[in-house]
Amino acid sequence: MPKKAKEQSLFNVPVIKEGQKVKWVILREIENWILVNCENGAFTGVILAKEAKELKRSNVELSSGTELELEIINPSIRHEDGYYIVSVTRLLQYDVWKSIIDKFEKDTIITVVPTEANLWWLLIDMHGIKGFIPLSQLAPIHYPRVEDGDQDAIFDKLLALIGEEIKVRVINIDEEERRIILSEREALREEREKVLSELEVGKVFDGVVSGVSSYGLFVTIGGTVEGLVHISEITYGHVNNIDKLGKIGDKMKVKVIGLENGKISLSAKQLKEDPWEALPKKYNIGDVFEGEVIRFVPYGVFVRVFDDINWLVHLSELSQKAVNNPNEVVRIGQKVKVKLILIDPKNRKIGLSMKDLDENKETAPKASKKADLADIADKLEKEEAEKKTTRKPRAKKAEKEEAEEAAE
């Protein structure tokens, strides 16, 4: 090598010391770590796998030939293959911190990806700068609503958010600790204000189920404003299992039925046709249907025939034989044939009979030929009247039975 060129090459060799900033060129990726070469080929370095993964997640260009300014870590500690260990993170932290302050001052929305979770917040690591999203700052669709405060269930819901992109605003900065507090709710501030300005009793909105509880479904409108569809406002029928009526993420059209002290009451039921108005138009006394036995009560069984309305087969209408307990005749889940003998839309009652369709009816005493459907309906009404007058000590129990029947 000519003397002048050799001197020039020696002159350009960078100083190898901790914290030294040097321009590097990416050579290739090897087993998840990145091999880099000093710009003038003086020596080779490596970006370790953990940092390489973080750089990829942050969409830093790492293809072969890309130039990066890197910082030399302690030169006395080498990679197992003898390469110098270099890092871009500390240099990026300065740029990231400047960017965060700028976004905070301008109230700009940013996109982050949680890397860890605990029972109080989601953690975001931005090249060593820690960001936190407290649970109270999550949007309704992401809030881990769990009955009875089951911590394991809460933690599972938060773990599901790790790796997901979340739009947030910076709401607080701790410059001394280099920590930032983020809010998903604040990122939706404008949308929330718009939805709230449009909320009126009687208005209908498209929503998404954001929570399920024993007392109803939480539905979010516009992704920001959450209201409750009470269990009594989900459907007209009796609800045995609310999980069958909605799960998180389901779309649901709802009507605003109440606005009080910041609470929003919604209804899905009021957007459906009232079956008690439709039934008399569609069905006639004497019609025969097949239904499923849903539940037992002391005075009979409820059978599901159409939609979500459960219809009553009174104990006296189960069989031609005397029946003391419904399970003597039917079982839960059994498919049975029933005949319509009573429609009372005003009191929301429907009466069914199985005994006229009983396969063993020929062995039972024959009913009077003069008895007709009106007589049977009258019999049911008289029995209810007798209960009220002769069972005063059991008034509370009778009221409960009537309430259960009306709820159907």
Q: Which domains does the chain have, with CATH numbers?
A: 3-87 (2.40.50.140), 106-187 (2.40.50.140), 198-271 (2.40.50.140), 275-407 (2.40.50.140)
Q: Give the three-state DSSP class for 50.
A: helix
Q: Give the three-state DSSP class for 233.
A: helix
Helices (H), 107-234: 151-159, 184-187, 189-198
- Residues 278-287: contacts with CB under 8 Å, at least 24 apart: 279/309, 279/343, 279/345, 279/350, 280/343, 280/345, 283/340, 283/343, 284/340, 285/340, 285/341, 285/342, 285/343, 285/373, 286/339, 286/340, 286/341, 286/373, 287/339, 287/340
pTM of the model: 0.59
Tell me the per-residue pLDDT of 97-127, one tens digit each, with 9 for 90 and over. Answer: 888 899 999 999 999 999 999 989 999 988 7
Question: Is pLDDT of 58 > 90?
Answer: no
Where do we find the tokens 């992109």? 165
Backbone angles phi, psi at 218, to 5 degrees: -90, 130
- Nearest CA-CA partner of 238 in 172, 309, 289: 309
- Residue 146 binned pLDDT confidence (cut-offs 50, 70, 90): confident
Q: Give the three-state DSSP class for 208.
A: strand
Q: Which whole number is the average pLDDT over 66-76?
A: 74
List of residues 6+ apart from 37 with CB closer than 8 A: 24, 25, 27, 43, 44, 45
Tell me the per-residue pLDDT of 338-350, one tens digit each, with 9 for 90 and over. Answer: 998 888 888 878 8
pLDDT reported for residue 15: 59
- Nearest CA-CA partner of 201 in 128, 146, 264: 264
Backbone angles phi, psi at 68, to 5 degrees: -135, 145
Question: Is pLDDT of 169 > 90?
Answer: yes
List of residues 6+ apart from 365 with CB closer than 8 A: 320
Least confident of 181-190, 191-200, 379-388: 379-388
- Which amino acid appears at position 364 of this protein? A
Query: Average per-residue pLDDT in the chain?
Result: 79
Q: Give the three-state DSSP class for 349.
A: strand
Q: Which whole number is the average pLDDT over 359-364?
A: 41
- Nearest CA-CA partner of 242 in 214, 222, 201: 214
Q: Give the three-state DSSP class for 76.
A: coil
pLDDT reported for residue 265: 95
- The CA radius of gyration of the chain, in Å to the nearest whole number, is 36
Beta strand 309-314 pairing with 349-353: parallel
